[in-house]
């Protein structure tokens, strides 16, 4: 199926205003509009970002008489979990969310218990758009097209829900956030930027998750990558490359017809140089499509020349998607690919894919109820 690239989301009504949509200044304005003293703004922020509460009825430091009014004005219920499925003995959990307007999208929570007494990790993979306009043919989300952008609060609510589940069920903290769910985060740039600021700000202004533990994954919108570099946030950038040559990448990642490999690597090296952070290059290994030894050599060569040590290749064994004729590469082919990339002086690992059997793995999110 050939699809058009969609950079601008269709103009759909956005959800009602939520506290999490507002920056510090706007929160003060909002509480004063309700006739409350300005210090309530900080209290509410502490509840939301610090205690992970979005229900004013449970905010005991708020006078009982104003809780209902605050709930109506600032804490509408934006997301309802429509379905949750688990695998890996409960270590991977996918949630299908339903927004106020019926829009659906998914997020995935993954726990990686620590070994030998070391601390474990918990990562939430969140969506930035309902659907996606980038039309990559091997990705289920890309095949469904773009429905709409998610609001700042709709994205933050996925994080808050994951963090509060972990705390309540396990007494654990959320350590990592990856923008690898549905959508192209850099096509919803301004909202994603606000979300990033709130994720990394210390409580009460944000969730206080360290910037280096937050990964923004992109198909390669070169100008937006440069812009993000200049914001000075220090989040990790992941670039979905999937091919080292334009001829193949034009078909696998259609946005390559707009910003080709040279341009996107230029932007990504600018990111690495500006932030000092290593860029993660994503490469879904597809049998007989992009897994040839010469492509491994070329990938390693190009990346080493562009980034020096500031790059890491993440191979993702292709996950099956409905109707796709493509398949993951056989293990020996994968091993040789890894060895050849490494031989060029570039670190390379194979991603441990989680959630295949519940269609929660990379490229499988389609938000089908
Ligand atoms: N739009 C962003 C965010 C999605 S991240 C991006 O493309 O980077 C999801 C990652 O999984 C991307 O690297 C994507 O290319 C990859 N992916 C998509 N479909 C896949 C599949 N079927 N198997 C393995 N990886 C896939």
Q: How far apart are CA 289 and CA 261, in angstroms?
A: 17
Q: How far apart are CA 275 and CA 141, in angstroms?
A: 30
Q: How far apart are CA 281 and CA 225, in angstroms?
A: 14
* Whether the Cβ atoms of residue 230 and residue 274 lie closer than 8 Å to each other: yes
Q: Which CATH superfamily is domain 79-358 in?
A: Aldolase class I (3.20.20.70)
How large a percentage of the chain has pLDDT more than 70? 99
Name the pLDDT band for 367 (thresholds 50, 70, 90).
confident
Q: Output the residue whose Cα is nearest ligand 1's atom 5.
A: 180
Enumerate the CATH 1.10.150 domain ranges in the chain, comma separated.
19-75
> What is the 8-class DSSP label of residue 328?
B
Rounded distance from Cα 362 to ligand 1 centre (Å): 5
Nearest Cα residue to 313 out of 265, 270, 269, 348: 348
Enumerate the CATH 3.20.20.70 domain ranges in the chain, comma separated.
79-358
Residue 195 pLDDT more than 90? yes
Residue 217 CB less than 6 A away from ligand 1: yes
CA 233, chain centre distance (Å): 16
Phi, psi of 124 (to 5 degrees): -110, 135
157: left (phi > 0), else alpha (psi -120 to 50), else beta? alpha
Tell me the average pLDDT across 173-177.
97
Q: How far apart are CA 209 and CA 212, in angstroms?
A: 9
Name the pLDDT band for 293 (thresholds 50, 70, 90).
very high
Could you tell me which CATH class the domain 19-75 is placed in?
mainly alpha
Q: Output the residue whose Cα is nearest ligand 1's atom 26.
A: 363
Residue 284 pLDDT more than 90? yes
Least confident of 31-45, 105-119, 171-185, 297-311: 105-119
Name the pLDDT band for 2 (thresholds 50, 70, 90).
low
All residues at 6 or more sequence positions from 215 whose CB lies less than 8 Å from its CB, including other chains: 176, 177, 178, 179, 180, 235, 236, 237, 238, 280
Q: Output the residue whose Cα is nearest ligand 1's atom 9.
A: 180
Return the pLDDT at 227: 98
Evaluate if pTM is beyond 0.85.
yes
CB atoms within 10 A of CB 44: 26
Residue 1 pLDDT more than 70? no
Mean pLDDT of the chain: 95
Return the pLDDT at 323: 85
Q: What are the residue numbers of the active site?
A: 106, 362
Return the pLDDT at 52: 97
Tell me the average pLDDT across 159-181.
96
């Amino acid at each position: 199926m050939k699809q058009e690239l969609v950079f601008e989301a269709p103009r759909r009504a956005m959800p009602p205003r939520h506290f999490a949509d507002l920056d510090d200044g706007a929160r003060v304005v909002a509480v004063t509009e309700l006739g409350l003293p300005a210090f309530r703004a900080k209290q509410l922020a502490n509840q939301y970002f610090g205690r992970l509460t979005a229900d004013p009825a449970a905010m005991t430091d708020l006078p009982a008489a104003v809780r209902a009014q605050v709930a109506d004005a600032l804490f509408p219920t934006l997301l309802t979990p429509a379905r949750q499925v688990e695998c890996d003995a409960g270590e991977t959990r996918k949630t299908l969310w339903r927004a106020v307007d019926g829009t659906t999208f998914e997020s995935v929570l993954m726990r990686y218990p620590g070994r030998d007494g070391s601390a474990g990790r918990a990562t939430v993979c969140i969506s930035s758009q309902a659907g996606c306009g980038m039309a990559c043919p091997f990705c289920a989300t890309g095949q469904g097209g773009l429905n709409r952008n998610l609001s700042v609060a709709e994205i933050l609510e996925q994080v808050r829900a994951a963090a509060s589940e972990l705390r309540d069920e396990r007494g654990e903290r959320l350590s990592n956030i990856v923008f690898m769910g549905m959508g192209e985060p850099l096509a919803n740039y301004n909202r994603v930027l606000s979300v990033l600021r709130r994720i990394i700000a210390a409580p009460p202004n944000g969730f206080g998750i360290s910037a280096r533990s937050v990964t923004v994954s992109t198909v390669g919108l070169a100008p937006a990558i440069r812009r993000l570099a200049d914001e000075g946030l220090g989040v990790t950038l992941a670039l979905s490359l999937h091919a080292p040559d334009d001829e193949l990448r034009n078909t696998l990642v259609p946005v390559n017809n707009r910003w080709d490999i040279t341009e996107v690597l230029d932007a990504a090296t600018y990111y690495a140089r500006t932030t000092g952070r290593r860029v993660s290059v994503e490469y879904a290994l597809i049998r007989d499509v992009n897994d040839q030894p010469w492509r491994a050599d070329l990938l390693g060569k190009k990346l080493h020349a562009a980034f020096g040590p500031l790059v890491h290749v993440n191979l993702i064994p292709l996950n099956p998607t409905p109707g796709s004729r493509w398949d993951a590469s056989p293990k020996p082919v994968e091993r040789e690919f890894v060895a050849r990339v490494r031989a060029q002086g570039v670190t390379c690992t194979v991603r441990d894919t989680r959630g295949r059997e519940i269609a929660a793995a990379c490229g499988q999110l389609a938000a089908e109820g």
